Amino acid sequence: MSIRPQAPAPATPAPGKLPITELAEMKARRQPIVMVTAYDAPGGRLADEAGADLVLVGDSAAMTMLGHDSTVPATIEEMLMLTRAVTRGARRPLVIADMPFGTFQVSDEDAVRNAIRFVKETGADAVKLEGAGPMLPRARAIVDAGIPVMGHIGLTPQSATMLGGYKAQGRSAEKALALLADARALDATGCFSLVLEAVPAPVAARITQEISIPTIGIGAGAECDGQVLVWHDLLGLYDGRSARFVKRYAEIGDAIRDALSAFAEDVRERRFPEEQHTYAMPADELALFAAATSDQREHADDRG
């Protein structure tokens, strides 16, 4: 029997769920926090079994799962469907739904309404949104509605065009100071954690020391409170060019291609299916079937 309620109960942690307050304690203990993206139920289950603390249903799905060239086209309906699948697989880790471009930029009301959809319709434990500055009131409004928010600064892919492309951020003293100010502001809005993407390691280290909430780095050095990698990058499933900060822990794409080729060859050479893959029937039933079908054939031959 499942220990998780079948219908997600918004804002109610399921039994066995990592309490969100534990993350601040992990920061205090300097115990690294592990986050990975996932986009389906098996991914959520495997991340859980591997001991991930946080599972992010990233809008990177637009690229990794849906074949787009950027994260911008991800729609709320697509993200809701993927998040629903992940929450069915992941029990202990907190599942964070990434709010896709266009779902929180327009107004505080819109941001709260869409964040509510994520917790209510998918069972997500929290949402993530990119940016600071004009997005601070959005984060605040969502937190005020009782939904935990993860911030995300540095390279924010939804605004890559404005940033001049997918490149590291905060590489001048002035820009690094601006990032620190943004991090402090997101901390003050009540975010429970903050993703730092593609930020020089010393800048990320300083931000990590200066703010009260845990930082989760991706391309931000070893001093962040936690680390995140994208599922397809980590597992070698994505055939685009990997960013400098990616470490591949497996080549699952190659393993899948090899397995599919072996299947195709077996089918073409009639090596599959074998005896053990087929169903038998009792000999007497088979004899009756054979007799009936040969009768039918004789009648057909007579008519012909």
β-partners of residue 98 are 128
Contact yes or no for 143/189 (Cβ under 8 A) = yes
Helices (H), 146-200: 160-163, 173-189
Q: Binder to ligand KIV among 176, 228, 234, 237 (CB under 6 A)?
A: 228
Of 25, 77, 78, 197, the active-site residue reads: 197
Q: Binder to ligand KIV among 37, 169, 215, 227 (CB under 6 A)?
A: 37
48 sits near ligand KIV (criterion: CB under 6 A): no
Biggest CA-to-CA distance, the chain: 94
Among residues 4 and 102, whose Cβ is nearest to ligand KIV? 102
What is the per-residue binding string for ligand KIV in 102-141, x denoting contact by CB under 6 A? ----------------------------------------
Annotated catalytic, 197? yes
Sign of the Cα pseudo-torsion (162, 167, 170, 171, in order) = negative
β-partners of residue 37 are 56
What is the per-residue binding string for ligand KIV in 239-278, x denoting contact by CB under 6 A? ----------------------------------------
User: Closest distance between ligand KIV and the C-beta of residue 65, in Å?
Assistant: 11
Tokens 């990975």 sit on residue: 36
Q: Binder to ligand KIV among 53, 98, 125, 225 (CB under 6 A)?
A: 98
Contact yes or no for 136/161 (Cβ under 8 A) = no
β-partners of residue 36 are 55, 229
Contact yes or no for 33/218 (Cβ under 8 A) = no
User: Closest distance between ligand KIV and the C-beta of residue 17, in Å?
Assistant: 21
59 sits near ligand KIV (criterion: CB under 6 A): yes
230 sits near ligand KIV (criterion: CB under 6 A): yes
182 sits near ligand KIV (criterion: CB under 6 A): no
Q: Cα(149)–Cα(71) distance, rounded to whole angstroms?
A: 19
Q: Cα(178)–Cα(180) distance, rounded to whole angstroms?
A: 5
Binding interface with ligand KIV (CB under 6 A): 37, 56, 58-60, 98, 152, 195, 197, 218, 228, 230
